[in-house]
């Protein structure tokens, strides 16, 4: 048995994490919230300030934790401008049995909405598709070189939490074109300029790259269009040639936008509240919070 956390008081009772609770704790932010509430009672705005996260996101995470019976309301307290509901952890410590990777009974936890979104690429612990990145060599009509291939590793690490595979799952767009492997489920990293497979399926997505000519620097949605280089998009659609397969695009107006979209994908659960439809998209903007010139956070703008 592995302890998630516990109070300093060794004599207190602990709670066992069932499947629903484990799914709720698949998000790192919720684990941090739960640790705080195991130490002392707090209301959501206090937690938002403590962790440096947005107030609305905090309420979202509190709702998930409360619905999973990991936290509970204790009282109302007066705060500036009104009252606030105070919460605490439902138990001072929690345990869960991880099993061992490789054993047949090993079942990774996955949020219900994330599981729906990644289906059919991930189903029952199998990855039924490929991650496609643009080739670093000059290729395509504009003879471009992709610079975001390393981001496939970030996506692979995220998906690797839920699957095990010994086969190669990351391919270059040039390999897909050469071998004509267009008929499988795919996660496409990079926009239409650097990833020729993204270009092939661009018009199928509910949010897509606009324009028929170089440099394709605009993302268009049903509501708006975006040309800022830090804009990225995550979009999903049914494969046009096979209704049992799906395509996911993670791309940006420029490389910084793709980095923002990858960051968002790593926090996918927070973007998929009540996810239900097959055609999905969300637009994000990359942020440089520490001023080092690198994208390290994102905000959802649509």
pLDDT tens column, 67-115: 888 999 999 998 887 899 999 988 776 655 444 444 444 444 677 888 8
Q: Which residue has the higher pLDDT, 99 or 212?
A: 212
| Per-residue confidence (pLDDT) for residue 127, from 0 to 100 | 87
| Per-residue confidence (pLDDT) for residue 35, from 0 to 100 | 85
Distance between CA 88 and CA 38 in Å, rounded? 6
| Per-residue confidence (pLDDT) for residue 101, from 0 to 100 | 44
Give the alpha-carbon dihedral of 103, 109, 114, 120, to 10 degrees. Answer: 20
- For the residues 28-32, what does the mean pLDDT come to? 86
Confidence of residue 153 (pLDDT cuts 50, 70, 90): confident
Q: Is 10's pLDDT higher than 90?
A: no
Q: Which residue has the higher pLDDT, 77 or 5?
A: 77
Determine, yes or no, domain membership for 103: no
Residue 263 and residue 213 share a domain: yes
| Per-residue confidence (pLDDT) for residue 17, from 0 to 100 | 62
**Phi, psi dihedral angles at 83 (to 5 degrees):** -125, 160
Residue 7 and residue 86 share a domain: yes
Residue 185 and residue 234 share a domain: yes
Task: Give the count of beta carbons closer than 10 Å to the beta carbon of residue 163.
Answer: 18
Question: What ranges in the chain are assigned the alpha helix state H?
Answer: 19-24, 28-39, 44-51, 55-67, 112-118, 151-159, 173-179, 196-201, 255-265
| Per-residue confidence (pLDDT) for residue 15, from 0 to 100 | 61
Question: What's the mean per-residue pLDDT of the chain?
Answer: 84
Determine, yes or no, domain membership for 107: no
DSSP 139: B
Of 63, 96, 129, at which residue does a domain stop? 96
Residue 141 and residue 8 share a domain: no
Distance between CA 134 and CA 192 in Å, rounded? 9
Number of structural domains in the chain: 2
Ramachandran quadrant class, 116 (left: phi over 0; alpha: psi -120 to 50; beta: rest): alpha
**Domain with 201 in it: what CATH number?**
3.30.379.10
Of 67, 96, 125, at which residue does a domain stop? 96
| Closest residue by Cα to residue 280 from 243, 301, 249 | 249
Beta bridge partners of 280: 236
Q: Under DSSP, is residue 119 helix (H, G, I), strand (E, B) or coil?
A: coil
pLDDT > 70 fraction of the chain, expressed in percent and rounded? 86
Confidence of residue 1 (pLDDT cuts 50, 70, 90): very low
Residue 242 and residue 140 share a domain: yes
Contacting residues for 175 by C-beta, under 8 A, at least 6 apart: 181
Domain with 78 in it: 2-96
Determine, yes or no, domain membership for 48: yes
Determine, yes or no, domain membership for 271: yes
Distance between CA 91 and CA 74 in Å, rounded? 13
Distance between CA 56 and CA 124 in Å, rounded? 33
């Amino acid at each position: 048995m592995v302890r998630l956390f516990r109070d300093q008081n060794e004599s207190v009772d602990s709670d066992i994490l069932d499947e629903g609770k484990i799914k709720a704790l698949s998000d790192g932010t919720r684990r941090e919230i739960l640790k705080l509430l195991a130490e002392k009672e707090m209301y959501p705005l206090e937690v938002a300030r403590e962790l440096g996260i947005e107030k609305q996101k905090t309420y979202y995470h509190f709702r998930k934790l409360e619905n999973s019976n990991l936290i509970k309301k204790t009282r109302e307290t007066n705060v500036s401008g009104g009252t606030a509901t105070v919460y605490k952890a439902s138990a001072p410590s929690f345990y869960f049995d991880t099993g061992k990777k490789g054993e047949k009974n090993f079942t990774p936890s996955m949020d219900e909405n994330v599981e729906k979104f990644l289906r059919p690429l991930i189903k029952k612990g199998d990855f039924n598709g490929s991650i496609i990145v643009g080739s670093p060599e000059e290729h395509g009509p504009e003879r471009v070189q992709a610079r975001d291939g390393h981001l496939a590793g970030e996506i692979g690490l995220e998906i690797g939490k839920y699957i095990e595979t010994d086969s190669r799952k990351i391919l270059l767009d040039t390999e897909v074109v050469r071998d004509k492997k267009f008929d499988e489920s795919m996660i496409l990293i990079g926009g239409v300029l650097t990833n020729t497979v993204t270009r092939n399926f661009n018009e199928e997505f509910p949010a897509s790259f606009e324009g028929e000519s170089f440099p394709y620097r605009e993302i268009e949605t049903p509501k708006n269009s975006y040309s800022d280089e830090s804009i990225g998009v995550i979009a999903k659609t049914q494969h046009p040639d096979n209704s049992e397969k799906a395509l996911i695009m993670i791309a940006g107006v420029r490389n910084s936008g793709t980095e923002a979209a990858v960051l968002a994908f790593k926090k996918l659960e927070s973007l998929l509240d009540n996810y239900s439809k097959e055609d999905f998209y969300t637009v994000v903007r990359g942020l440089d919070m520490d001023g080092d010139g690198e994208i390290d956070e994102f905000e959802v703008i649509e």
